[in-house]
Amino acid sequence: MQNWKKILKNSITDSATLAKYLKIDKKEINKVISKYPLRINSYYLSLIKRKKDPIWKQCVPSIQEVRLGLGKRDPLLEEKYSPIEGLIHRYKDRVLLYVSNMCAGYCRFCTRKRQVGTEEKVLKAKDVQKAFRYIASNKKIRDVIISGGDPFVLGDKEIEYYLKNLRKIKHVEIIRVDSRIPATLPQRITPELCKMLKKYSPLYFNTHFNHFQELTKESRRACDMLADSGIIMGNQSVLLAGINDDPKALKKLFEGLLTMRVRPYYMYIPDAVKGTYHFRVSIAKALKIMRELIGHTSGLAIPHLIIDLKHGGGKTPLLPKYIMKRKGRRYVFKNFENKLFYYADVK
């Protein structure tokens, strides 16, 4: 068995085993995991340095998941925008394929908390065929995202099956894969996997690091191997209360990612998902954080701050306010150092 499969197989999924490694309240944890499953693999567990540190909070269940009743199962109405099983078509020119509801670990803040890990399953062969036919018959689709769950818990052959069939569709220009595995199980990125992925260039890979404690020797090696295979790496983070809602921590994360050839792409305001309310950060606070980042580090290190509007409103960018006043052609700007500058626009 490959090393990553062993690590995954030996994941902690019950409170008694978890209690051997961490000081936890088993009763509370059991209450949570009867509803939202637990999985922490040994690699990710090894990143925990202290009780309730940013790694702990991302993977160890908290009673708040079941105590606060706020939020919706599916606030973005992904199910409404799913014309067939496993395919979400919210934007005209791109679709998202939900190929597996398994992950290398279950993040407590997951936006697809209603689906991940509950009953472990992958997309059925007949639904996969239906999805390919849907994409092939819809010429407007030029970008396909292979997502989940985490598609990289699948074997190399299964992943290749998606890539090969999507590449056969002429109008599909861009294929993207979304996977948190470089952060949660970097051992999954093997030379064989990279060799296979390389054949399907141009391939965009959006991974998901939330904290600089996730930037390790192993994750750096994984990202290096992917980048060396010609894959264009991006990162999507979620802004999480008590984990990374701090400009200094984010700066360290984003600057670190750049040195790993991973470009910060999006940072999300947490969605209003049931069981994740204790992670939510206000828009005002998020904008304040962006103000402390923009101009204070390389533009390359700054992701777009995104709110995914409820009821399927879609991804929408948020920017701090830089125009303080406008009178006709005369503008007053507040720059990144909070100094005022006048600007006369062209007619």
Active site residues: 90-91, 94, 103, 107, 110, 112, 271, 308, 315
| Interatomic CA distance for residues 225 and 204, integer angstroms | 14
- Please, where are the H alpha helices in 104-187? 125-136, 156-167, 181-184
Q: How far is the CB of 222 from ligand SF4 (least distance, A)?
A: 15
4 binds, among ligand SF4, ligand PLP, none (CB under 5 to 8 A by kind): none
Residue pair 90/27 in contact by the 8 Å Cβ criterion: no
- Please, where are the H alpha helices in the chain? 3-9, 15-21, 26-33, 42-46, 54-59, 64-67, 125-136, 156-167, 181-184, 191-198, 217-228, 247-259, 283-293
Among 54, 61, 86, 149, binds ligand SF4 (CB under 6 A): 149
Number of chain positions touching ligand SF4 (CB under 6 A):
10
CB nearer ligand SF4, residue 256 or residue 270:
270
Among 88, 107, 145, 215, binds ligand SF4 (CB under 6 A): 107
279: DSSP letter: G
Sheet holding 304-309, edge to edge: 87-91, 94-98, 143-147, 174-178, 203-207, 232-238, 263-268, 304-309, 314-318
| Interatomic CA distance for residues 287 and 67, integer angstroms | 29
If one asks whether residue 150 binds ligand SF4 (CB under 6 A), the answer comes out as yes
91 binds, among ligand PLP, ligand SF4, none (CB under 5 to 8 A by kind): ligand PLP
CB nearer ligand PLP, residue 91 or residue 161:
91
162 binds, among ligand PLP, ligand SF4, none (CB under 5 to 8 A by kind): none
| Interatomic CA distance for residues 199 and 92, integer angstroms | 27
Which positions lie near ligand PLP, rule CB under 6 A? 88, 90-91, 94, 96, 145, 315
Query: Which residues, 6+ apart, have CB-to-CB distance to 186 below 8 Å?
Result: 43, 216, 218, 219, 221, 222
Q: How far is the CB of 145 from ligand SF4 (least distance, A)?
A: 13
* Residue 270 CB burial class (10 angstroms; 0-12, 13-18, ≥19): buried
145 binds, among ligand PLP, ligand SF4, none (CB under 5 to 8 A by kind): ligand PLP
Six token digits for residue 50: 């202290």
The residues in 288-327 that bind ligand SF4, with binding defined as CB under 6 A, are none
Among 60, 116, 159, 189, binds ligand SF4 (CB under 6 A): 116
DSSP β-bridge partners for residue 332: 325, 342
Q: How far is the CB of 338 from ligand SF4 (least distance, A)?
A: 35
| Phi, psi for 2 (deg, rounded to 5) | -65, 155
| Interatomic CA distance for residues 346 and 121, integer angstroms | 58
315 binds, among ligand PLP, ligand SF4, none (CB under 5 to 8 A by kind): ligand PLP
180 binds, among ligand PLP, ligand SF4, none (CB under 5 to 8 A by kind): ligand SF4
If one asks whether residue 103 binds ligand SF4 (CB under 6 A), the answer comes out as yes
Q: Taking contact as CB under 6 A, which single stretch among the options 77-85, 103-111, 289-297, 304-312 is the one that binds ligand SF4?
A: 103-111
Six token digits for residue 135: 């994409």
If one asks whether residue 54 binds ligand SF4 (CB under 6 A), the answer comes out as no
If one asks whether residue 110 binds ligand SF4 (CB under 6 A), the answer comes out as yes
Q: Taking contact as CB under 6 A, which single stretch among the options 12-20, 79-87, 99-107, 123-131 is the one that binds ligand SF4?
A: 99-107
275 binds, among ligand PLP, ligand SF4, none (CB under 5 to 8 A by kind): none
If one asks whether residue 180 binds ligand SF4 (CB under 6 A), the answer comes out as yes
- Measure CA of the first residue to CA of the last residue in the chain; give whole Å: 69
Contacts with ligand SF4, residue ranges (CB under 6 A)? 103, 106-107, 110, 112, 116, 148-150, 180
